[in-house]
Structure 1
Amino acid sequence: MSNQDKTIVVFTATGAQGSSVVDSLLESGFKVVALTRNTQGKGATALKMKGAQIAQADLSDVNTYKDTFKGAHGVFINADFWGIYAAQDYNVEATTKEEIRQVTDAMKAAKDAGIKHVVYSSLDENTQAPHWQSKADASKWASQNDIPITNLVMTAYWENISNFKLIQAKDDGSYTLLLPLLDDTKHYGVPVCQTGLWARTAFENPDKWIGKDIYAVTGEETTSEIASILSEISGKKVDTLHLTKEYFHSEAMKKQLGEEMWLNWNLFIEKRITRDVKASLDAAPGAWDFKTWAKNDKGIKELLQF
């Protein structure tokens, strides 16, 4: 079966991950049904102009999307922990339970519809960060219930640096990188704008990737190395916070970050994950490393004024 004969249904199609997946699949000749809650928004309109079929759906309600699975070959599933977290009044236990329900409902519906391949945006287990564990638990459920799944294992988005303005100007004309990590902490990262490169690889090679994990990561620079690269490409001096482990573990730091985000950064400091950058790049030819991403990111250019 050629790509032109395969329809892929994509959740969160106007989001950071989903829009990239739609773009990459369309470029490779797949038919795409893009699911979004707002079919009249700018994001949906842009995807429609590129050739995607737009359908209104909400991952929280299986009845809004199950009909879109009929006749489709594959499904890309990505759940929004943070949106659920806000809706659940920032209750971690309720959020993880709800996220797993939403994902497993979608996987059940996909299996019932005869979907041949599910690519699921997942994360590592045993990190002690709930928003990582909930995704890992859904992956385990899929494996235990014969879902034809490829786990697309993500990591930190490079875009978080620009989206959350983690670069601050100082009075002397220099800048501070506000990543709350130690100088020698490896920051495994990926340009979320290129998520589709890995999803496409999985959908194009089901015999290789069904039942396997495909990792999306393009860099493992330390905090100091990230600051150095930003200095190099901008011509501006960029320094780090020079955090100590003692201060990171202080109550002041935990209060500043909030428990969930403190746990997120702590898993990098405590080296609870690792990544094979070369293997990931081999699976996604053309994916940007950190330096290339930073040169191309509009937000970085605005923050560092170059």
Structure 2
Amino acid sequence: MEPTGKTIVVTGATGLQGRAVTRHLLDSGWQVRALTRNPDGASAAALAHAGAEIVRAEMEDLSSLIDAAEGAYGLFSVQPTVGSPGTAPDFCAEDEVRWGMNIAEAARAAGIAHLVFSSVAGADRHDSEALPQNLISKWRIEQHLAKLGLPATILRPVSFMENYTGEYALQGGSLVSGIAPDVPLQITAVDDVGFIAALAFSRPREWIGRATALAGDELTPVQIAAHIATAIGRPLPYRRIPMETIRAVNEQFAFAHEWLNQRGYRADITATRRIHPAAMDFRTWLERTGAAQITAFLDAQRAEGQDA
């Protein structure tokens, strides 16, 4: 695609969403300024090889964010939630909110013309029901964007299909979670979030001021396990983790699982496909990338078990 001549700043650029957004922005002709705490790491090197400008910045350090955003047209904002890979053990919800607010303040100070914030589906239901902490955190950041009057787009993805590629969901030869076996869970591919973020930046008149939930499929854990088993050619039973076990680790994690079991995200999958007709269902994602990632993880897990 023809270069736009404009720069988009991507926060969390070496993370799951940041990498997908960066890839789609570069493919769409944007210049990308990829922010990372570790510019010398392998993930940053891969982004640089793809054509991104790598800039060191800390979400905790407002001045570094302002410096990084100067002269850019747009900014993609995403923060880790409690328990996200790579976060410090003491990382908490207040840290997430502060980081999100810092990025919003940096966008205002730098005169960013379009900010796209990755929130979470259901965050806007704060008035009608009690929400898990991760949804409350995202809603507070959304409210700060509104308070500042920023030209913003809010994307609210559901759970990621990529969650099924590692130890979070694959343990002891089974698929595990706290979701009841017969409760449908909405899921989406991170790559599709990246596509829609790039689309939003390319159509500011259509997207500034807009908030939309994103989902590509809805399956029970038993169905998810069955699809994975078929795709990788080996059995993968589903095992539910008792809620008491989750609660013993973290009360908020337990509440989040209870919320998913009883209420769920309620995103409109048909609406997502109107935006992005090629949005992947779970079987398509498995065929394209998921099955290979899951197989590689299970093989490595098995090898470690044999070496132990």
Aligned partners of 1:201 and 1:283 also within 8 Å: no
1:116 aligns with 2:113: yes
Partner of 2:185, secondary structure, is: coil
1:67 aligns with 2:59: no
Q: CA deviation at 1:254?
A: 1.9
1:275 aligns with 2:267: yes
Tell me which moved more, 108-117 or 224-233.
224-233
Aligned equivalents of 1:28, 1:259: Cα separation in 2:
42
Relative to structure 1, is the Cα distance of residues 223 and 32 closer, same or farther in structure 2, using a 3 angstrom cutoff? same
Relative to structure 1, is the Cα distance of residues 198 and 242 closer, same or farther in structure 2, using a 3 angstrom cutoff? same
Tell me which moved more, 138-147 or 75-84.
75-84
Aligned equivalents of 1:86, 1:218: Cα separation in 2:
27
Relative to structure 1, is the Cα distance of residues 60 and 240 closer, same or farther in structure 2, using a 3 angstrom cutoff? same
1:292 to 265, 273, 284: 284
Q: CA deviation at 1:168?
A: 4.3
Per-residue Cα deviation, 1:211-266 (whole angstroms, up to 9, x for no partner): 111333211111222122223323433332267xxx53xx34422x5223222222
1:141 to 135, 141, 144: 144
Partner of 1:144, secondary structure, is: helix
> Equivalent residue for 2:258?
266
Q: CA deviation at 1:11?
A: 0.4
Aligned equivalents of 2:94, 2:179: Cα separation in 1:
29
Aligned partners of 2:34 and 2:53 also within 8 Å: yes
> Equivalent residue for 1:172?
none
Aligned partners of 1:198 and 1:216 also within 8 Å: no
Aligned equivalents of 1:48, 1:86: Cα separation in 2:
23
Per-residue Cα deviation, 1:60-111 (whole angstroms, up to 9, x for no partner): 1011121222221100011123379964736xxxx32332222122212212
Q: CA deviation at 1:118?
A: 0.4
Aligned partners of 1:31 and 1:52 also within 8 Å: yes
Partner of 1:188, secondary structure, is: strand
Relative to structure 1, is the Cα distance of residues 50 and 252 closer, same or farther in structure 2, using a 3 angstrom cutoff? closer
How many residues are treated as equivalent by the alignment? Answer: 289
Partner of 1:82, secondary structure, is: coil
1:302 to 292, 296, 304: 296
> Equivalent residue for 2:135?
132
Aligned equivalents of 1:128, 1:160: Cα separation in 2:
21
Relative to structure 1, is the Cα distance of residues 3 and 132 closer, same or farther in structure 2, using a 3 angstrom cutoff? farther
> Equivalent residue for 1:224?
222
1:101 aligns with 2:93: no
Aligned equivalents of 2:110, 2:224: Cα separation in 1:
45
> Equivalent residue for 2:56?
56
Aligned equivalents of 2:236, 2:65: Cα separation in 1:
46
Aligned equivalents of 1:25, 1:215: Cα separation in 2:
20
Q: CA deviation at 1:286?
A: 3.2
Aligned equivalents of 1:9, 1:67: Cα separation in 2:
11
Aligned equivalents of 1:62, 1:242: Cα separation in 2:
42
1:160 aligns with 2:163: yes
Per-residue Cα deviation, 1:140-167 (whole angstroms, up to 9, x for no partner): 2212321111111122121222222523
Q: CA deviation at 1:195?
A: 2.8
Aligned equivalents of 1:57, 1:167: Cα separation in 2:
33
Question: Which amino acid letter does the alignment assign opposite residue 60 of structure 2?
Answer: S
Per-residue Cα deviation, 1:11-65 (whole angstroms, up to 9, x for no partner): 0111111011110000000011111111111111111111111111011101112
Partner of 2:117, secondary structure, is: strand
> Equivalent residue for 2:26?
26
TM-score by length of 1: 0.85
Question: Which amino acid letter does the alignment assign opposite residue 161 of structure 1?
Answer: Y
Aligned partners of 2:178 and 2:240 also within 8 Å: no
TM-score by length of 2: 0.85
Relative to structure 1, is the Cα distance of residues 101 and 275 closer, same or farther in structure 2, using a 3 angstrom cutoff? same
Structure 2 spans left out of the alignment, 5+ residues: 300-308
Aligned equivalents of 2:246, 2:73: Cα separation in 1:
47
Partner of 2:82, secondary structure, is: helix
